[in-house]
Amino acid sequence: MIRFTFKRLMLMVLMLLGLLAITFTISHIVPADPAALAAGPDANVEMIERYRVEYGLDRPLAEQFLVYLGKLLSGDWGKSIHTTRPVWDDLVTYFPNTVELVVFSIAIAVLFGIPLGIVAAVNQNRPIDHVIRVLTVTGVAMPMFWLGLMAQLFFALKLGWFPLGGRIEMMTDPPQAITHLLLVDALLNGHFGTFVDALHHMVLPAVALCFPALASIIRVNRAEMLETLKQDYIVNARAQGLSTFRIVAVYALRNAMLPTMAMIGLRFGWMLGGTVLIETVFDWPGIGLYAVQAAISSDFEPIMGATIVLGFFFMLTNLLIDMIYGTLDPRVREQV
């Protein structure tokens, strides 16, 4: 298991370098004139030239890439034009909000997706299975932003059950930042009212964000459960007198979980991408909204910062999923 972990970690470092190469390419090579882009839309020729020299854009690409890496490592992620703050500081402010949202959201997707997949599989071709299948098929086809809008329209505006958007009530004083995760900080500071309020704000965006992932987790888990329940070892388990519940919930589920885990990892990427939509719809002060606002005004460094952070976060979760995979399946552990 240690070798397995080490190997995965090394792979991740390589992937991270690849990711940085991509952001470097996009920021230094793709734009016709990166200096003009970096200098901002209102810059004149002299300013652009000054930028070109200041940013080393006149030097060879390999050197530029090394300089780029060095700057990132030293915490110099550039400056945002529209917030006028260093990108790193912005990311520290906004990223935790996104983490809270996606973690809550993927938790919903997994906690509901797996049981619903099992229920559908066990009741194959019965009405409940058909209902679940219709829901999942529509769920995957639903544009996340539109689902968010419709949820706002119905649950916030018509029924008034949930707030329209935002992270907490305008008038609330945020708790002292310890972890920067609002929910955790609220608890640590004993602000239970704030905690409940923050949670209340999170429900609609999290549900809208989780829907496509939920749908695909149900689909995969259902298909895998059906496949697993046909296996010989399930027949054997029945022949030995194990209860149906134990067979389904332990013997079959553990095997079906392997492909489901892979799907969860994949969909987590969708979800991270989806934050740009959901945060825009619900005015959620996260990294997605930050990136979109930057992209609209061609404010370059914040976009790259957000891309790196989201990509890194995605790699980290995939590493975690690989580890869980390794614990679940002894054969994978030994392959390395």
Partner 1 sequence: MTDQPLLSVRDFRLEFDTFDGVYRAIDGVNFDLIPGESLGIVGETGCGKSVTAKSILGLVPTPPARVVSGQILYNGEDLLTVGEERLRALRGVEIAMIFQDPMTYLNPVFTIGQQLVDVILAHQRWRPSEQRLNRAQARDHAIDMLSRVHLPNPERQLDAYPHQLSGGMRQRVLIAQALSGNPRLLIADEPTTALDVTIQAQILDLIAELMGEFDLSVILISHDLGVVASLCQRVVVMYAGQVVEDASVTRLFSEPGHPYTQGLLKAVPHPGRAASTLSGIPGTLPNLYDPPAGCRFQSRCAHAMPMCTTVPPLYAVADGQRVACHLHAPEASRAGVA
Partner 2 sequence: MAELTKEAHELTVSLDWRERHVSTIRMLRLYARTFARNGSAMLGLGLVLLFLTTAAIGPYFVPFPDDATGSVHIERKLQPPDAVHWFGTDEVGNDVFTRVIVGARVTLQIACIITGVAMLIGIPLGMIAGYMGGWVQEVIMRITDVFLSVPGLMLAIAIVGALGPGIVNAMVALSLVWWPGYVRLVQAKTLSLKNEIYVDAARSMGAGSLRIVFVHLLPNCTSPIIVKASMDMGMAILGAASLGFLGLGAQPPFPEWGAMISVARTYLPDWWWYSFFPGTAIVITVLGFNLLGDGLRDILDPKHRE
Task: Tell me which residues in 254-273 interact with partner 1 (CB under 8 A).
Answer: 254-255, 258
Q: Which of 15, 47, 119, 324 binds partner 2 (CB under 8 A)?
A: 15
Residue for token pair 């240690």 = 2
Query: Length of the chain in residues, anyone?
Result: 336
Rounded to a whole number of angstroms, the CA Rg of the chain reads: 23
Work out what residue 241 binds among partner 1, partner 2, none; the CB cut-off runs from 5 to 8 Å by kind.
Answer: partner 1
Q: How many CB atoms lie within 10 A of CB 111?
A: 13
Among 43, 69, 81, 149, binds partner 2 (CB under 8 A): 149
Structure tokens at 154: 């119905």
Binding at 330: pick from partner 2, partner 1, none (beta carbon under 5-8 Å per type): partner 1
Contact 261, 325 (CB under 8 A): yes
Q: Does 328 bind partner 1 (CB under 8 A)?
A: yes
What span, in angstroms and rounded, lies between the C-alpha atoms of 199 and 183?
Answer: 7
74 beta partners:
none
DSSP characters for 228-280?
A: HHTSHHHHHHHHTT--HHHIIIIIIHHHHHHHHHHHHHHHHHHHHHHHHHHHH
In the list partner 1, partner 2, none, the entry touching 251 (Cβ below 5 to 8 angstroms by class) is: partner 1
By CB under 8 A, the residues from 268 to 287 that bind partner 2 are 269-274, 276-277, 280-281
x/- contact string, 129-148, with partner 2 (CB under 8 A)? --------xx-xxxxxxx--
The 26-65 contact track toward partner 2, x by CB under 8 A, reads xx--xx-----x----------------------------
Residue 176: name its binding partner from partner 1, partner 2, none (Cβ under 5 to 8 Å by kind): none
- Alpha carbons 65 and 213: distance in angstroms, whole number: 36
Question: Which residue, 101 or 186, has its beta carbon nearer to partner 2?
Answer: 101
Nearer to partner 2, 18 or 193 (CB): 18
What DSSP assignment string belongs to 145-156? HHHHHHHIIIII
| 284 vs 306: CA distance, rounded Å | 15
User: What are the angstrom distances between the C-alpha of 238 and each of 122, 257, 310, 328?
Assistant: 15, 20, 45, 22
CA 147 from centre of chain = 18
* Residue 233 interacting entry, from partner 1, partner 2, none, C-beta within 5 to 8 Å by type: partner 1
Residue 254 contact among partner 1, partner 2, none, beta carbon within 5 to 8 Å by kind: partner 1
Interacting stretch for partner 1, rule CB under 8 A, among 71-79, 166-174, 188-196, 226-234? Answer: 226-234
- Does 127 help bind partner 1 (rule: CB under 8 A)? no
Residue 157 or 235: which CB sits closer to partner 2? 157
Shortest Cβ distance from residue 209 to partner 1 (Å)? 31
In terms of Cβ atoms closer than 10 Å to its own Cβ (0-12, 13-18, 19+), residue 300 is buried
Q: Which of 165, 271, 164 is nearest to 216 (CA)?
A: 271
- 45 burial via Cβ count (<10 Å: 0-12, 13-18, 19+): exposed
Residue of 2, 141, 170, 239 that binds partner 1 (CB under 8 A):
239
Binding site residues, partner 2, CB under 8 A: 14-15, 18-19, 21-23, 26-27, 30-31, 37, 137-138, 140-146, 149-150, 152-153, 157-158, 223, 226, 269-274, 276-277, 280-281, 288, 291-292, 294-296, 298-300, 303-304, 306-307, 310-311, 314-315, 318
What residue ranges bind partner 1 (CB under 8 A)?
231-233, 235-244, 246, 251, 254-255, 258, 328-331
